[in-house]
């Protein structure tokens, strides 16, 4: 552990940052006319995204000058996840930017801390509902300091699932095939608009299943929270050899343990993947 901080102290530090950044983005939406732009021609970004990102990354650099940072707005270099020798912070200053821009409450600040490719601490703070999810590896997960646990769902037919869709609409057929299969074999779908909150809702039992392909900053903190709440986290597709599984976002699947394998088979079949 670097800089003489325990993992729990690292989590405390991340929670304080997430709460302060959450207050910043909440205040920015309530006090000002929202300024928006687009990156990659399709993906919405707000001035508050950048402000919160700079606040979080600046505080981490000051406290841990030798650590690396992977953040959605200011340092979205995914090769950072492949360099395992130095501790890595993974940040999404506003997960659910479209929700944020439209005045919806499902918005979160997500901060994760990883060592050697394994996430050790994670915080997801939802400023508009004032909910803070956190986990330190091996110590369980909490929501507003109270322990949380997955739903205990036992079969897909009785399970509520969440997923999302990319900004680019070039290749939607595989996603539609998966959605069609899941809709027919599960209770219902919820489309929340924040991957971090989707996963945290699996952690606390508001959802039973989540699957999607997303970036590390979308899920790194929430995935640890779900695992520490007893959920099963993995992938229904292959993870490249040597790539840290904690940071691989392709074909992500997180659910109550009893439904994970049946859902994995549903998604693999709908995706046209060979074998089980």
Clarify whether residues 34 and 162 are in a common domain: no
One domain for residues 12 and 97 = yes
Question: Mean pLDDT across the chain, nearest whole number?
Answer: 92
Tokens of 64: 């841990």
| CB neighbour list of residue 90: distance below 8 Å, 6 or more residues apart | 70, 71, 81, 110, 111, 112, 113, 114, 119, 216, 217, 220, 221, 247
Taking residues 192-205, report their average pLDDT: 98
If asked whether residues 82 and 114 sit together in one domain, one would say yes
Q: What is the pTM of this model?
A: 0.94
Q: What tens digit of pLDDT does each residue of 49-60 get?
A: 889 999 999 999
Least confident of 33-37, 111-115, 224-228: 33-37
User: Per-residue pLDDT for 169 more than 70?
Assistant: yes
Higher pLDDT, 4 or 182: 182
Q: Which helix (H) or strand (E) holds 93?
A: strand 88-95
54 and 109 co-located in one domain: yes
In a domain? residue 93: yes
Which pLDDT does position 182 carry in this prediction? 98
Binding positions: 72, 92, 94-95, 218
pLDDT at 31 over 80: no
Same domain, 184 and 258: yes
- For residue 243, the domain's CATH number is 3.40.190.80
- Indicate whether 135 and 44 sit together in one domain: yes
Answer with the one of 98, 121, 147 that is the final residue of a domain. 147
Residue 266 lies in a domain: yes
Angle between helices 257-271 and 173-185 (to 10 degrees): 140
Confidence of residue 111 (pLDDT cuts 50, 70, 90): very high
For residue 276, is it within any domain?
Answer: no
Tally of domains in the chain: 2
Q: Is there a domain that residue 75 lies in? A: yes
Residue 165 has pLDDT above 50, yes or no: yes
Is pLDDT at 74 greater than 80 in this prediction? no
Query: And the tokens for 160?
Result: 């509520």
In a domain, 69, yes or no: yes
Boundaries of domain holding 131: 2-147
Boundary (domain end) residue, out of 130, 147, 164: 147
Q: Which are the contacts of 242, defined by CB distance < 8 A and separation ≥ 6?
A: none
Shared domain for 49 and 107, answered yes or no, is: yes
Residue 1 has pLDDT above 70, yes or no: no
CA–CA gap between residue 90 and residue 74 (Å, rounded) = 12
Residue 179 falls within a domain, yes or no? yes
Same domain, 75 and 142: yes
Residue 47 is predicted with a pLDDT of 84
The span from the CA of 30 to the CA of 32, in Å, is: 6
Residue 103 lies inside a defined structural domain of this protein: yes
pLDDT in the model for residue 228: 98
Whether 42 shows a pLDDT value over 60: the answer reads no
Integer Cα distance of 168 and 41 in angstroms: 9
pLDDT at residue 84, rounded to an integer: 81
36 and 142 together in one domain: yes
117, 147, 177 - which closes a domain: 147
Residue 246 lies in a domain: yes
pLDDT at 36: 55
Q: What CATH code is carried by the domain that includes residue 70?
A: 3.30.540.10
In the predicted structure, residue 219 carries a pLDDT above the cut 70 = yes
Query: For the packed helices 216-228 and 195-204, what is the interaxial angle rounded to 10 degrees?
Result: 0
Both 191 and 75 in one domain: the answer is no
Percent of the chain at pLDDT above 70?
A: 92
* 9 and 121, same domain (yes or no): yes
Q: Give CA–CA dist 92/48, Å, rounded.
A: 12
Annotated binding site for Mg(2+): 72, 92, 94-95, 218
pLDDT score of 35 more than 70: no
> Which of 64-73, 85-94, 175-184 shows the lowest per-residue confidence on average (mean pLDDT)?
64-73
Token readout for 252 is 């992500």
Answer whether residue 61 shows pLDDT above 90.
Answer: yes
Both 7 and 143 in one domain: the answer is yes
pLDDT > 50? residue 199: yes
């Amino acid at each position: 552990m670097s800089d003489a901080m325990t993992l729990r102290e690292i989590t405390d530090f991340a929670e304080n940052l997430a709460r302060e950044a959450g207050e910043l983005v909440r205040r920015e939406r309530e006090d000002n006319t929202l300024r928006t732009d687009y990156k990659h021609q399709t993906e919405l970004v707000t001035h508050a995204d950048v402000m919160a990102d700079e606040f979080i990354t600046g505080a981490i650099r000051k406290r841990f000058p030798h650590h690396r940072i992977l953040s959605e707005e200011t340092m979205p270099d995914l090769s950072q996840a492949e360099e395992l020798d130095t501790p890595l912070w993974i940040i999404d200053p506003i997960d659910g930017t479209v929700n944020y821009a439209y005045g919806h409450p499902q918005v979160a600040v997500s901060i994760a801390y990883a060592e050697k490719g394994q996430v050790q601490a994670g915080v997801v703070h939802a400023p508009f509902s004032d909910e803070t999810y956190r986990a330190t590896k091996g110590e369980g997960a909490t929501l507003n300091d109270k322990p949380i646990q997955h739903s205990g769902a036992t079969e897909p037919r009785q399970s509520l699932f969440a997923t999302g869709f990319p900004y680019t609409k070039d290749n939607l057929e595989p996603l539609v095939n998966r959605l069609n299969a899941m809709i027919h074999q599960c209770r219902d779908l919820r489309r929340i608009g924040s991957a971090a909150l989707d996963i945290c809702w699996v952690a606390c039992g508001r959802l039973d299943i989540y699957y999607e392909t997303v970036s590390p900053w979308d899920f790194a903190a929430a995935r640890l929270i779900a695992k520490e709440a007893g959920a099963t986290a993995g992938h229904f597709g292959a993870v490249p050899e040597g790539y840290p599984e904690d940071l691989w976002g392709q074909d992500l699947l997180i659910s109550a343990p009893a439904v994970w394998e049946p859902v994995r088979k549903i998604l693999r079949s709908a995706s046209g993947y060979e074998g089980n």
